[in-house]
Chain A
Amino acid sequence: LAKTTQPISMDSYEGQEVNITCSHNNIATNDYITWYQQFPSQGPRFIIQGYKTKVTNEVASLFIPADRKSSTLSLPRVSLSDTAVYYCLVGGVNSGYALNFGKGTSLLVTP
């Protein structure tokens, strides 16, 4: 399973765009990149998933360069409620079935 590296923490002000980058140098050909959000005392919840290039949904965008060795989660115009821990997870059918989370990135949004 591809090992992931993310910044431990990030700070932002309300209304700004936040970009969180995840490194996954040994990503396998069939691996997907998935980002989860976790609030205190809750289980992680899915934000976005991608394989290559760019994916956008109603809450975030995911940018994946051609070599797929990293990915960037982009949160547009964050609000206080976006304060949470964000996890990058890489996995697929050929990388085994153990889905290991890293330490995640703790995002603090302030007024």
Chain B
Amino acid sequence: NAGVTQTPKFRILKIGQSMTLQCTQDMNHNYMYWYRQDPGMGLKLIYYSVGAGITDKGEVPNGYNVSRSTTEDFPLRLELAAPSQTSVYFCASVREVQETQYFGPGTRLLVL
């Protein structure tokens, strides 16, 4: 089991560029989550999914989009990168909502 994998590990974007952060889990988990963590701060929920084809907004969804076409993959899309989106992005998955979340290693994004 690889668990939760994220790519890339690090990326520098110019303002206005777009990119997709990839997240894959091989544990057949129903629920997947995207969080962002700014320096010295806690995690903020961006989007989550309760299964293939179903997604919903979290606390800070503006500027992001997601899709969930398969159980395994939950990509996060930034359409027009802004400096405020400079952060570390974590993907997580869980089998059932009351159980343990498993986190990926994170993607560090710098928007200049």
Q: Answer yes or no: A77 CB below 8 A from chain B CBs.
A: no
Number of interface residues of B (CB under 8 A): 27
* Cross-chain contact B31 with A43 (CB below 8 angstroms): no
Nearest residue (CB) in A for B90 is A43
Known: A91-B98, A92-B98, A93-B98. A99 touches B103 (CB 8 A): no
Residues of B within 8 A of A49 (CB): 100
Q: Answer yes or no: A74 CB below 8 A from chain B CBs.
A: no
* Cross-chain contact A98 with B45 (CB below 8 angstroms): yes
Q: Answer yes or no: B19 CB below 8 A from chain A CBs.
A: no
What number of A-B contacts does a CB cutoff of 8 Å give? 65
| Majority SS at the chain A contact face | loop
* Cross-chain contact A100 with B58 (CB below 8 angstroms): yes
* Cross-chain contact A98 with B58 (CB below 8 angstroms): yes
* Cross-chain contact A97 with B92 (CB below 8 angstroms): no
CA distance A20 to B59 in the complex (A): 25
Q: Answer yes or no: A41 CB below 8 A from chain B CBs.
A: yes
CA distance A6 to B41 in the complex (A): 14
Please list the 4 inter-chain residue pairs (A to B) with the smallest Cβ-Cβ separation, ordered nearest first: A43-B103, A101-B43, A103-B42, A46-B100
- Chain A positions within 8 Å of B, measured between CB atoms, are 30-32, 34, 36, 41-46, 49, 85, 87, 91-93, 95, 97-104
